[in-house]
Amino acid sequence: MAINKDTAIVQAEEQRAQAEALFNSIGEGAIATDEFGRITRINPIALSILGYKESELLGEWFPKKIVALNEQDVAINLIDRPITKAFLSGRSVTEKVFYRKRDGQKLPVMLTVSPILLADRPIGAIEVFRDITLEEEIDRMKSEFISLASHQLRTPLSAIKTYSHMLVDGYMGDVTTAQKKSLRTIIGATNRMNELISTLLNITRIESGTIVINARMLRIDRAAEEVIKELNLAASEKNITLSLTQSGKLATSVKTDNLILKEIISNLISNAIKYTTEGGAVDVIVRGRNKDVLVTVADNGWGIPKDAHDQVFSKFFRAQNTVKRETTGTGLGLYLVKGLLERLNGNIWFESEEGKGTTFFFTLPKEQRLRNN
């Protein structure tokens, strides 16, 4: 029995040593906690990234010792910390946050927290994170370049569009039918280029936090009506029925930015028109509720494949079923819409089935205080 006991002790020590070696060999920062959030293990990379010594962290309460901040340099509430979300949901949580290093420096990190479950009860958690300072700087430089290039492109594009219109309208002499057709193709191409430039500029403003919000009270149904009037021609060219309905008796008024709101609605309706076959329908419904206003944009078009649902709001993403049929998209529209709604404190989600259509929903709160960064 003594031999068996000694063997069991040796085996347990070997397993602990293996687990320790495995934990320390993780190529990114790693922190393990117990069920109460106390730090039980931290690997050398995490210590190096955060600037702490192991003795300063072991046994400490993780949320208090390692402070997480948002982009406005405000400490994230405990209930909103990724580790809390992982404990409460029992699922892994991946987010970008900022950590306060030992020397006070603010550090951007991308992290994943996974709960350790025993009989469906969390008994601890493991967080793996990496320093994304370099990635953030590269993104900032790319955004600055895109912004500069977009501004510089607008001047020659305006000249091309102006002179093309003048030629088509006969201000510079008669042109043949074939020449008019070619000129209209040029005008259409410059319009698409201007739309792309506007989208890129809006994205760079969102990502750099420089987008300006001019909030005032307005009715969402009226804003939607104005957008629909502008898009009626595009819908009629594909024989698509475009309708607007105000549902319910509650007011649809919110305090928000009129131009940004119209940009959101326009992107969603334009997408619905683009990805709906001829003879289809796009229905817009605006419903006032107690605390918010719900806007629905539904189509009976191509739909989104189920395996692509989690990527819909990603930058430059386009589902394969749309790429095969429509080659002019950029994959930026929905990324922009989500970013704009976040700036307006709104939410967006969707339901879709390939071959049957897609319905996008977004809400804007009635009571809110919007501010610029």
What is the DSSP pairing of strand 281-288 with strand 241-247? parallel
Q: Is CATH 3.30.300.30 the right assignment for the domain spanning 2-131?
A: no
258 strand-pairing partners: none
pLDDT tens track, the chain, 373 positions = 445 666 656 565 666 666 666 776 777 899 999 999 999 999 999 999 999 999 999 999 999 999 999 887 889 999 999 999 998 888 899 999 999 999 999 999 999 999 988 888 889 999 999 999 998 888 778 777 777 777 788 788 888 889 898 998 888 888 888 998 898 888 888 887 887 787 777 777 777 777 788 889 999 999 999 999 989 988 998 999 999 999 888 888 999 999 899 999 999 999 999 989 899 999 999 999 999 999 999 999 889 888 888 888 887 777 766 655 655 667 788 988 999 999 899 999 999 998 899 999 999 998 877 666 5
What local confidence, expressed as pLDDT, does residue 1 receive? 45
Going 338 to 339 to 341 to 345, the CA torsion angle's sign is positive
Q: Which residue has the tokens 């990190």?
A: 109
The pTM (predicted TM-score) of the whole model is 0.61
* Largest CA-CA distance found in the chain, in angstroms, rounded: 107
What local confidence, expressed as pLDDT, does residue 322 receive? 65
What local confidence, expressed as pLDDT, does residue 55 receive? 93
Look at the domain 215-365 and name its fold: Heat Shock Protein 90 (3.30.565)
Q: What angle do CA 265, 270, 272 make, to 5 degrees?
A: 100
Q: What does the alpha-carbon distance between residue 95 and residue 73 come to, in Å, rounded to a whole number?
A: 16
Q: Of all helices (H) and strands (E), which one includes residue 241?
A: strand 241-247
Q: Identify the CA nearest to 220 among candidates 180, 188, 265, 282.
A: 265
- The answer for residues whose C-beta is within 8 angstroms of residue 262's C-beta and 6 or more apart is 223, 226, 227
